Amino acid sequence: MSIWSRISDAVAALANGESLSLVFDRLRSPPERTVAFTIAVIALSAKMAKADGQVTRAEVMAFREVFHIAPEDEAGAARVFDLARQDVAGFEHYARRISAMFGTDRGALCDLMEGLFYIAMADGRFHPEENVFLARVAEIFELPDGAYRRLKSRFVPDAKPDPFDVLGVDRDMSLEDIRKVWRQLVRDSHPDVMIARGVPQEAVKLSEKRLIAINRAWEEIAAREHA
């Protein structure tokens, strides 16, 4: 059964009156975590769209780039989005349920945040309300210190990303220690590792974009050291 077939089953439960919270509770363990991850991105994207007041075509296309949706599954994905957007529960409630669902697996939550950043930046503008929204979600997810700043530096082109921020390293670290961090980030970004965390196969494009930023940051730092 494909991930979108399983999402359709979850959508059917929603249509029968179950809340998203109850659906999330049933999706805690592999392989259903991949379903939970996808629904979480759809649901929080809907809440984020509500925060900045609009859903742009670019944002819809960005979601389609990350999550490949077959034509027969489009209605189910749209159903989850509409239910989340119309739900009276606030985004903080959603974020807490999602955080509880993934427990101490902060890697999966960072993956989820990447998806949200990618969608938020699809129209080329980072709306102030999107910044408030995503910063609060990161806080609820209890992401490590600096994680939100690192994510933002990779996605939001206010200024050229600081390579040290991208890798999450201190400027006074030795090049060899920075190399170790870079190598671990590369390993953590491997599609197989991400899938093991609950990221669906359909969303491994996130790893491609992360690796580009990570490798570019390492190359820049190494070039400075050898200049």
Boundaries of every domain in the chain: 3-226
pTM (predicted TM-score): 0.73
- pLDDT for res 88: 60
Alpha-carbon separation of residue 107 from 20, 110, 172, 217 (angstroms)? 22, 5, 25, 20
Tens-digit pLDDT profile for residues 184-215: 999 988 878 877 776 766 666 777 778 888 99
What tokens does 159 get? 């200024």
93 touches 28 (CB < 8 A)? no
Distances (CA, A) of 49 to 77, 118, 192: 15, 13, 30
Confidence (pLDDT) at 178: 94
Spatial separation of the C-alpha atoms in residues 137 and 84, rounded to whole Å: 16
Q: Are 126 and 120 in contact (CB under 8 A)?
A: yes
User: What is the three-state SS of the chain?
Assistant: CCHHHHHHHHHHHHHCCCCHHHHHHCCCCCCHHHHHHHHHHHHHHHHHHHHHCCCCHHHHHHHHHHCCCCHHHHHHHHHHHHHHHHCCCCHHHHHHHHHHHHCCCHHHHHHHHHHHHHHHHHHCCCCHHHHHHHHHHHHHCCCCCCHHHHHHHHHCCCCCCCHHHHHCCCCCCCHHHHHHHHHHHHHHCCHHHHHHHCCCHHHCHHHHHHHHHHHHHHHHHHHHHHC
Residue of 184, 151, 204, 148 whose CA lies nearest to 34: 204
Predicted confidence at residue 15, as pLDDT, reads 62
Per-residue pLDDT of the chain (227 residues; tens, 9 = 90+): 455 566 667 666 766 767 766 766 666 655 566 777 777 887 888 888 777 666 666 666 666 666 666 677 777 777 777 777 776 667 888 888 888 877 777 888 888 888 888 888 877 788 888 899 999 999 999 987 678 888 888 888 775 678 888 888 888 999 999 999 999 999 988 878 877 776 766 666 777 778 888 999 999 999 987 65
Contact (Cβ atoms closer than 8 angstroms) between residue 52 and residue 129: yes
| pLDDT on residue 174 | 92
